[in-house]
């Protein structure tokens, strides 16, 4: 039974990692200057945040199945994404988009670390 649970968690986690990667491409493009529609970038930020939350829960579940504890240190990233989403929701003017771009730029290193972590985890789950 535990193997079935672990297999299901791994499958769900791999799907979430793919979602993270896809949405990060849009966020990264926006930071780099691609002019996305505000709803597109807002949707991608929210999807990235939601997927990161679910991915973290799956990681915690996997560690718990193995009797281990893990600390997930992305709280500052969640806060930055919340600020960016709130700023974008206020208004979609060029000034607001520039502010969102600045918030995301400051969080880019954290997002990169998250994606590096999940890329390594993805490889370990495949073997």
Task: With a cut of 70, say whether residue 13 has pLDDT above it.
Answer: yes
* Contact predicate 85/46, CB 8 Å: yes
Angstrom distance (rounded) from CA 40 to CA 113: 23
Angle, helix 2-31 to helix 38-65, in steps of 10 degrees? 150
- Over residues 55-76, mean pLDDT: 90
Helices (H) and strands (E) in the chain, counts: 4, 0
Split at pLDDT 50, 70, 90, the class of 52 is very high
> Can you give the pTM of this predicted structure?
0.91
Q: With bands split at pLDDT 50, 70 and 90, how would you rate the model's confidence at 126?
A: confident
Residue 1's pLDDT is what? 59
- Residue 70 sits at φ, ψ, to 5 deg, of -145, 145
pLDDT range class, residue 127, cuts 50, 70, 90 = low
- CA 47 to CA 41: how far, in whole Å? 10
Question: Residue 6's domain is classified under what CATH number?
Answer: 1.20.120
Q: Per the structure, how many domains does the chain have?
A: 1
Q: What are the phi and psi torsion angles at 116 (to 5°)?
A: -65, -45
pLDDT > 70: percent of the chain: 98
Q: 82: domain range? A: 2-126
Q: Which of 17-26, 31-40, 90-99 shows the lowest per-residue confidence on average (mean pLDDT)?
A: 90-99
Q: Which of 100, 83, 115, 114 is nearest to 40 (CA)?
A: 100
Evaluated on CA atoms 69, 62, 116, 78, the torsion sign reads negative
Span 43-55, mean pLDDT?
97
Average pLDDT over residues 75-103: 91
Nearest to 45 by CA among 125, 95, 101, 3: 101
Higher pLDDT, 83 or 70: 83
């Amino acid at each position: 039974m535990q193997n079935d649970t672990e297999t299901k968690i791994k499958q769900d986690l791999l799907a979430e990692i793919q979602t993270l990667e896809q949405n990060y491409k849009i966020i990264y493009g926006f930071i780099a200057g691609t002019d996305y529609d505000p709803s597109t970038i807002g949707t991608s930020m929210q999807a990235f945040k939601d997927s990161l939350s679910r991915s973290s829960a799956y990681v915690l579940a996997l560690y718990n199945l193995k009797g281990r504890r893990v600390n997930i240190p992305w709280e500052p990233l969640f806060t930055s994404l919340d600020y960016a989403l709130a700023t974008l929701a206020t208004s979609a003017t060029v000034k607001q988009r520039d502010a969102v771009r600045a918030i995301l730029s400051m969080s880019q290193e954290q997002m990169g670390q998250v994606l590096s972590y999940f890329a390594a985890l993805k490889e370990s789950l495949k073997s």
